[in-house]
Amino acid sequence: MTVHASRRAVLAQGLVLLALAAAGSAPALAADAHSYAEPERVRITAIALDLDADFRRRTLSGTAELTLDWRDPEATELVLDSRELAIARVEARDGRGRWRRVGHALAPADPVLGSRLAIATGLPQPSAVRIRYSTAPTASGLQWLGPEQTLGREAPFMFSQSQAIHARSWVPLQDTPAVRFTYTAQLRVPRGLLALMSARNPQEVSRDGRYRFEMAQAIPSYLMAIAAGRLAFQALDDRSGVYAEPERLADAVAEFADTPRMIEVTESLYGPYRWDRYDLLILPPSFPYGGMENPLLSFITPTVIAGDRSLVALIAHELAHSWSGNLVTNANWDEFWLNEGFTSYVENRIVEALYGSARADMEFVLDIRSLRRDFRELPVETDLQRLTPRLAGRDPDAIYTTTAYTKGAWFLRFLELRVGRDALDAWLRDWFDRRAFTSVDTATFRADLEANLLAGHPGAVTGDELDAWLREPGIPAFAPEVEAAAFAAIDGEREAFLSGERAADALSWSRWGTQERLYFLNGLPQALTPAQLGTLDNAFDITGTRNSEVAFAWFQVGIRNGYPAIRPALERFLVEVGRRKFVVPLYRSLMARPEDRAFAREAFARARAGYHPITTASVEEVLGAAPAED
Ligand code: BES
Ligand code: ZN
């Protein structure tokens, strides 16, 4: 009896322990294959930057002071990530606050990871190290633009893009999302420029070009960000606003006026916004992404300023990262879906709350269609159809796919349908809260989901179903169909047009919104006749559209059919816009046609000087060109 009772107690205790582990009392996370850092030995807890931005030499130079939390009492070395940094000297701070010079070794650069920087700290372990360094003009995480590459053509511009592994090209640090730190910065930029960071930001230009920043919440390295240029600010409400070149500010403010409501809606769904302010920085069109969720200050491409707010899901997306990604962070880049899948799901919920389920469903269907298209071309062996691929040895930029985004969001939609929206929302709110300011992996996620959501819904989801979503390539056969009612009519119109039953100018194009137009264009067959393309274009001047998504979809149709009328607009687009999502597939389509290869190379030759290093690298890969020497 007593034996049994105590056995049961032990068992129960074991279960409690298991449940605790499942609830994630800091289980060991898988190592990050994209960082040299050794966070089990020592961690950076704070960074203090003191940097000069030299626009003539295109460098940041100065010091980075790293505060250290030693975990291994025997460790005598601090290993950091770096890329193309010139390290001038390293010092360590002893127990009495005195700085002494210490040795360091910079290993030869690995093409993906950069250079391992080992600092010989010795014993006793210093509480901080200070590194004097300078970035390279070719730093992969920075773009330096001349005045002629801005709208105003008056002043130069500089901005960072640290995700995934480019923070190391402008700060020597532990460049892994498994480590979080706070930071401060002192910056000097040319007088007249406004400097901004992913931190508490100024709203006005300083007189002397000096700025101080503080980021008081612990963030992973990929969320460190910096920008400087001729910028103006306009408030949207008392906690959000827009920074842009003055010439673009009014358009941006009008386009993104719904941002305050987006914040409110997300708070009501998933808990308080924890980062104080939420501002947008509109970058020049060479920005290599649509948006980047730098905390307090999302970086945004101007290509979403369509004039009708039809592409603002991107703002919902970057805002959503303030919960999924910035609060609860993927532990390494194999776990990217935990950032992007959750965020894409939340993005869609924000769009639904603000613009209605018809719009949200259309956007979801468009995403699922491109996922299916991508999967047809993505060899299963690449592992990239899995939510958790093994990316070791590969460049995270080169393997950026829609899998994490759309398959991830689709999986959450599946869970929503199985357990009910209220239950999923309650779990999500709780997940963001319990895991705030930590890094997570899929094992942690699954254990948490099972313990805190699925346990209360027995039979709703099987382990095999979770395996199918989380481990297998492709789309599970039981994935829920997502439908958009408005699209059926468009299928009908498209068929009528293709069969010749309906003339182009009798289509409802002018009444369609952006999502309907995209659905119409993306559903066109591979081959169209010159007459079909010509009549469509004559009827609606699609080539002349100012909507970047519609232009992109139309260029794809035009390229594969050798439609000559798009050429001038396409070339202008390729030269002006550096957003990888557009530019890389366009070059790929051009290169697929021998007769278009010369055009592609010429366009790249003209565009290159204006492209961001990340875009240049991916386009070069498509063109099969050797990387340039400079
Ligand atoms: N965090 C990403 C951008 C990113 C991902 C940069 C991986 C570097 C490596 C950002 O939130 C994003 O997903 N942007 C998308 C937005 C879209 C899905 C709404 C983009 O840039 O197109
Ligand atoms: Zn994202």
Nearest ligand (C-alpha, residue 289): 1
Mind giving me the DSSP string for 194-221?
EEEESSS--SS--SSSEEEEEEEEEEEG
DSSP 288: S
Q: What is the DSSP string of 352-408?
A: HHHH-HHHHHHHHHHHHHHHHHHHHHS-GGGSTTSSS---TTS-TTTT--SIIIIIH
Pair type for strands 180-188 and 210-220: antiparallel
Range of weakest confidence among 10-14, 230-234, 478-482: 10-14
Q: Give the separation between CA 300 and CA 326, rounded to whole angstroms.
A: 17
Residue 487 has pLDDT above 50, yes or no: yes
Question: For residues 607 and 286, is the Cβ–Cβ distance under 8 A?
Answer: no
* Cα radius of gyration (the chain): 25
Residue 336 CA, ligand 1 centroid: distance in Å: 11
Short-list 64, 136, 197, CA closest to 144: 136
Can you tell me whether residue 237 is helix, strand or coil? Answer: coil
- Residue 391's pLDDT band, with cuts at 50, 70 and 90, is very high
Q: Which residues line ligand 1 (CB under 6 A)?
A: 163-164, 289-293, 314, 317-318, 321, 340, 400, 405, 581
Domains of the chain: 37-134+161-218 (2.60.40.1730), 336-470 (1.10.390.10), 485-624 (1.25.40.320)
CA–CA gap between residue 325 and residue 342 (Å, rounded): 8
**For residues 591-611, average pLDDT:** 97
CA angle, 610 as apex, 609 and 611 as ends, to 5°? Answer: 100
Per the CB < 8 A criterion, the answer to whether 559 and 566 are in contact is yes
Question: What is the mean pLDDT of the segment spanning 489-514?
Answer: 98
Q: Using one digit for the tens of pLDDT, what is the confidence trace for 192-246?
A: 999 999 999 999 999 999 999 999 999 999 999 999 999 999 999 999 999 999 9
Calpha distance 103→126 (Å, rounded): 13
Q: How far apart are CA 410 and CA 225, in angstroms?
A: 30
Residue 231: DSSP 8-state? -
**Tokens standing for residue 16:** 């409690």
Q: Distance (Å, rounded) from C-alpha 615 to C-alpha 630?
A: 16
| Six-digit token string for 158 | 């500089």
41-50, 93-102, 621-630: lowest mean pLDDT where? Answer: 621-630
pLDDT at 17: 39
User: Of 43, 17, 61, 49, which Cα lies nearest the Cα of 198?
Assistant: 49
Torsion angle of C-alpha atoms 556, 560, 561, 564, degrees rounded to 10? 70
pLDDT tens, 552-595?
A: 999 999 999 999 999 999 999 999 999 999 999 999 999 999 99
pTM: 0.95
Backbone phi and psi for residue 133, each to the nearest 5 degrees, phi listed first: -155, 175
Order of strands across the sheet that contains 115-120? 77-82, 115-120, 104-106
Write down the mean pLDDT value for the chain: 94
* Amino acid (one-letter) located at 252: A
Region 174-195: mean pLDDT is 98
DSSP bridge partners of 50: 63, 186
For the stretch 49-69, pLDDT in tens is 999 999 999 999 999 999 999
**pLDDT band for position 532 (cuts 50, 70, 90):** very high
Share of the chain above pLDDT 90, in %: 93
Whether 286 shows a pLDDT value over 80: the answer reads yes
Give the DSSP H or E segment for 143. strand 142-145
Give pLDDT, residue 27.
58
At 467, which amino acid appears? D
Phi (first) and psi of residue 321, to 5 degrees = -60, -20
- CB neighbour list of residue 586: distance below 8 Å, 6 or more residues apart: 552, 555, 556, 559, 570, 573, 574
> Is 621 an active-site residue?
no
pLDDT at 399: 81
Residue of 345, 405, 587, 611 marked active site: 405
Sequence-distant (6+) residues with CB within 8 A of 557 are: 521, 524, 528, 533, 563
| The two structure tokens encoding residue 464 | 């095999």
> From the CA of 451, how far away is ligand 1's center (Å)?
30
Q: How wide is the angle at C-alpha 306 spanned by C-alphas 305 and 310, nearest 5°?
A: 105
Distances from the Cα of 101 to the Cα of 252, 269, 471, 478, 603, angstroms = 49, 52, 49, 61, 50
pLDDT at residue 5 is higher than 60: no
pLDDT over 90 at 516, yes or no:
yes
pLDDT at 95: 85
Residue 3 pLDDT exceeds 90: no
Q: What CA–CA distance (Å, rounded) separates 287 from 415?
A: 35
Q: Would you mind telling me the total number of residues written for the chain in this entry?
A: 630
Task: Tell me the average pLDDT across 371-380.
Answer: 95
How many whole angstroms from 311 Cα to the centroid of ligand 2?
A: 15
Atom 3, ligand 1: residue with shortest CA distance: 292
Q: Is 405 a catalytic residue?
A: yes
What is the distance between the alpha carbons of residues 615 and 583, in angstroms, rounded to a whole number?
Answer: 8
Nearest atom of ligand 1 to the alpha carbon of 581: 22
Return the pLDDT at 25: 45
Closest CA to 573 of 590, 559, 586: 586
By DSSP bridging, strand 86-93 and strand 99-101 are: antiparallel
**Minimum CA distance residue for ligand 1 atom 10:** 292
Virtual CA dihedral for 444, 445, 448, 452, nearest 10 degrees?
180
Query: Confidence band (pLDDT; 50, 70, 90) for 382?
Result: very high
Residue 40 DSSP code: T
pLDDT band at 26 (very low <50, low <70, confident <90, very high): low
Rounded average pLDDT over 405-426: 98
Marked catalytic residue, from 255, 318, 335, 352: 318
490 to 309, 460, 486, 515, 555: CA distances (angstroms): 22, 35, 7, 11, 20
Strand arrangement of the beta sheet that strand 142-145 belongs to: 142-145, 157-160, 226-229, 194-197
pLDDT at 615 over 60: yes
Distance 340 CA to ligand 2 centre (A): 5
DSSP letter at 508?
S
pLDDT in tens, 341-365: 999 999 999 999 999 999 999 999 9
- The bound ligand whose nearest atom lies closest to the alpha carbon of 401 is 1
